[in-house]
Amino acid sequence: MLKYGYLLAALTLCCSFVLPARPGVLGPVREKNAGKITAGPGDGRINPTSIDPDKVFLLIDKSSYRLYLYEDTRLLKMYKVVFGSDDLSDKRMQGDKRTPEGTFHISMKRYDRRWSRFMLLDYPNAQSLARFNARKARGLLPAGAKPGNGIGIHGVRPGVQPAIDMRINWTDGCIGMKNADVNELFRIVKTGTPVVIRR
């Protein structure tokens, strides 16, 4: 757990963690983690019972449109994701459709009629509010601006799934995934799982 703590601290402070190459190919990850994958019809799905949820964290890289699932320092899988605005910068205020950056935690999980599964993040947290208030104090935001809330990781409505492969940003600031992927992730993470979002 000590090694895991140092890794998460490094991600939080500098976001300089070395990611795998970004071609979007999952083959090498699957081969290196064959013990984590369920035997079956070649669907590449992970067996949640082989993973320690206390060591799991998520790294979301907006530039590569990927969500990286880690158990301690071991990369288990990469998922394709999309965001809100095509402007991939940090969320500034409610309604801008941007996805926030920083270190968050999953604060709630639920089944959802629209999104298949929904994992709420604890945005805005103290760090997000500090950045929001600093921008507001410098006059960079309207006087009536609010930080927003309700940011989470979720699936897609029928017919929208191709947007994930095409990197079409369409959410209100959330992280959108294919339904099969979000359903798998939902079974692995728990309330309190750390989520680092970076650009």
Among candidate residues 131, 127, 106, 109, the one with its CA nearest the CA of residue 118? 109
The reported pLDDT for the residue numbered 72 is: 95
40 is a domain residue: no
Query: Tell me, what CATH number does 175's domain have?
Result: 2.40.440.10
Which positions ≥6 away from 184 have C-beta within 8 Å? Answer: 45, 46, 48
Token pair belonging to 55: 């060591």
Domain of residue 133, residue span = 2-17+55-198
Query: Is 35 inside a domain boundary?
Result: no
pLDDT number for residue 44? 74
Q: What mean pLDDT, rounded, does the chain reach?
A: 83
CA distance 155 to 5: 29
**Mean pLDDT, residues 9-33:** 40
Mean pLDDT of 100-104: 97
Quick: pLDDT tens for 138-172: 999 999 999 999 999 999 988 888 999 999 999 99
Is 46 domain-assigned? no
The pTM (predicted TM-score) of the whole model is 0.79
Q: Residue 14 pLDDT > 50, yes or no?
A: no
Residue 11 has pLDDT above 70, yes or no: no
pLDDT of 132 reads 96
Is 182 inside a domain boundary? yes
| The predicted structure's pLDDT at residue 178 | 96
The reply to whether 111 falls in a domain is: yes
What distance in Å separates the CA atoms of residue 103 and residue 99, rounded to the nearest whole number? Answer: 12
Residues classed as catalytic = 154, 174
Residue 38 belongs to some domain of the structure: no
Q: Count of domains in the chain?
A: 1
User: Does 28 reside within a domain?
Assistant: no
